[in-house]
Amino acid sequence: MHDKIYLEGLLFPGRHGVSPEEQTYSQNFRLDVELYLDLRPAGEKDELHLTVNYQEAYRVVEEVVSRRSFLLLEALAEAVAERLLSFFPLLRRVRVRVEKPGAPLPGYFERVGVEINRSRKVKPAKALVGLGSNLGDKRRNLKAALAALSKTPGVRLERVAPLYRSAPWGRTDQPDFFNTVALISTFLSPFSLLASLLKIEKELGRRRESEERWGPRPIDLDLLLYEDLAVETEELVLPHPRLTERAFVVAPLADLVPELELPNGKRAIDWAEKLGREQEIERVEGYGWERD
Ligand SMILES: Nc1ncnc2c1ncn2[C@@H]1O[C@H](COP(=O)(O)OP(=O)(O)OP(=O)(O)O)[C@@H](O)[C@H]1O
Ligand SMILES: Nc1nc2c(c(=O)[nH]1)N=C(CO)CN2
């Protein structure tokens, strides 16, 4: 299968090179990227979730080239390939070419660079989504969000944690929350997944414009973890930055994946126990509550 999406002649400034000057002053890098995946489903159905959004791919490449620094073009190409495979579960192979138009060579040259191919077995990414509600019929809001999540194209709802009631965290002058965590598997990128979560929030009546930070809301969906991906962009931060501070996240998460290593290096089940002693949280219903 040779279908591919290609992005050619991408130009980004970066600090990559063996000499101290190249590490200090940025110069342009030129990249060609080929993303190998089966394009037939998207071709037949004309739906974006069945393929890789090349705008997202562009941003992933740009982030690696402009935010990191390597001695070798080999290392830069490796990092770009690795990052693309991490962000897009649909990819089975990537080809990355990196050229340095201003390479320090002693005479005239047309182009110099490296090209690598990296492949793997395609499988969906596992992700954990945190859900909360403290306005209206909270239990129903969470159930509706889970139903919407399970109907989201490219998302499979694997398991739902028990239902918790928790005292409000951050701002205490508001009603108690109901919280849970869902384990999903998905072929969506973390960007597309977050966009789907925001869409569900909106459909369930969330109006961010009229809300205060950490204030009351009918529904809140947070992307807690996406495989072991670390991302820090304006709209998406992974792992979720406040995950380990919150009993209402860690307790249900520890029910689903007790042995998971949290971003602070602790085992989920141990950390849940500690936070459970410090914050007010109570399990109100066991597994399967969302199905009745
Ligand atoms: N991992 C993430 N999960 C959800 N939203 C995220 C994430 N990383 C960044 N964001 C961004 O955060 C913005 C604000 O999210 P939200 O209103 O849910 O914050 P909050 O629930 O008030 O606070 P907190 O982020 O502490 O839970 C969203 O628009 C989203 O773009
Ligand atoms: N107990 C609890 N407290 C919160 C919650 C939440 O889901 N549960 N969500 C918040 C903002 O998203 C702020 N505070």
In this structure, the answer to whether residues 153 and 250 fall within a common structural domain is yes
Residue 149 lies in a domain: yes
- The CA-based angle 271-274-275, given to 5 degrees, is 85
In this structure, the answer to whether residues 115 and 222 fall within a common structural domain is no
- Going from the Cα of 194 to the center of ligand 1, the distance in angstroms, rounded, reads 9
In this structure, the answer to whether residues 150 and 18 fall within a common structural domain is no
The domain in which residue 137 lies consists of 125-283
- pLDDT of 215 reads 78
In this structure, the answer to whether residues 136 and 115 fall within a common structural domain is no
In this structure, the answer to whether residues 141 and 259 fall within a common structural domain is yes
Residue 292 lies in a domain: no
- CATH (domain of 47): 3.30.1130.10
- The CA-based angle 193-198-204, given to 5 degrees, is 125
Of the ligands numbered here, which is closest to the C-alpha atom of 142?
2
Q: What is the per-residue pLDDT across 91-114, written as a single tens digit (0 to 9) for each?
A: 999 999 999 999 999 999 999 999
**Residue 265 pLDDT grade (very low, low, confident, very high; cuts 50, 70, 90):** very high
- CATH (domain of 250): 3.30.70.560
In this structure, the answer to whether residues 131 and 276 fall within a common structural domain is yes
Residue 43 lies in a domain: yes
Query: Of 128, 113, 158, whose CA–CA distance to 10 is shortest?
Result: 113
Return the active site residues.
100
- pLDDT of 174 reads 87
Can you read off the two tokens belonging to residue 34? 């080929």
Residue position matching structure tokens 């399970």: 150
Instruction: Report which secondary-structure segment, H or E, holds 138.
Output: helix 138-151
- Going from the Cα of 260 to the center of ligand 1, the distance in angstroms, rounded, reads 22
Domain edge (last residue) among 96, 119, 142: 119
- Going from the Cα of 216 to the center of ligand 1, the distance in angstroms, rounded, reads 14
In this structure, the answer to whether residues 11 and 92 fall within a common structural domain is yes
In this structure, the answer to whether residues 95 and 134 fall within a common structural domain is no
Residue 289 lies in a domain: no
Q: Identify which of 163, 171, 220, 283 to mutate to test ligand 2's pocket (most ligand atoms within 8 A of the CB).
A: 220
In this structure, the answer to whether residues 100 and 211 fall within a common structural domain is no
**Residue 217 pLDDT grade (very low, low, confident, very high; cuts 50, 70, 90):** confident
Residue 290 lies in a domain: no
Of the ligands numbered here, which is closest to the C-alpha atom of 229?
1
Nearest CA to ligand 1 atom 10: 236
- Is ligand 1 within 6 A of the CB of residue 235? yes
- Is ligand 2 within 6 A of the CB of residue 216? no
Residue 38 lies in a domain: yes
Q: Which atom of ligand 2 is nearest to the CA of 167?
A: 1
Domain edge (last residue) among 100, 119, 138: 119
Of the ligands numbered here, which is closest to the C-alpha atom of 138?
2
- pLDDT of 205 reads 86
Residue 171 pLDDT exceeds 90: no
Domain count of the fold of the chain: 2
The predicted model gives 30-36 an average pLDDT of: 98
Residue 210 pLDDT exceeds 80: no
Q: What is the per-residue pLDDT across 40-91, written as a single tens digit (0 to 9) for each?
A: 999 999 999 999 999 999 999 999 999 999 999 999 999 999 999 999 999 9
Helix axes 190-203, 54-67, angle to 10 degrees: 120
- Is ligand 1 within 6 A of the CB of residue 223? yes
Query: Of 239, 196, 225, 192, whose CA–CA distance to 54 is shortest?
Result: 192
- The reply to whether the predicted model has a pTM over 0.90 is yes
In this structure, the answer to whether residues 143 and 101 fall within a common structural domain is no
Q: What ipTM does this complex have?
A: 0.90
What is the bridge-based pairing of β-strands 155-160 and 163-166? unpaired
Residue 239 lies in a domain: yes
List the beta bridge partners of residue 226: 127
- Is ligand 2 within 6 A of the CB of residue 180? no
Domain edge (last residue) among 119, 149, 170: 119
Residue 17 lies in a domain: yes
In this structure, the answer to whether residues 40 and 168 fall within a common structural domain is no
**Residue 216 pLDDT grade (very low, low, confident, very high; cuts 50, 70, 90):** confident
Nearest CA to ligand 2 atom 13: 214
- pLDDT of 96 reads 98
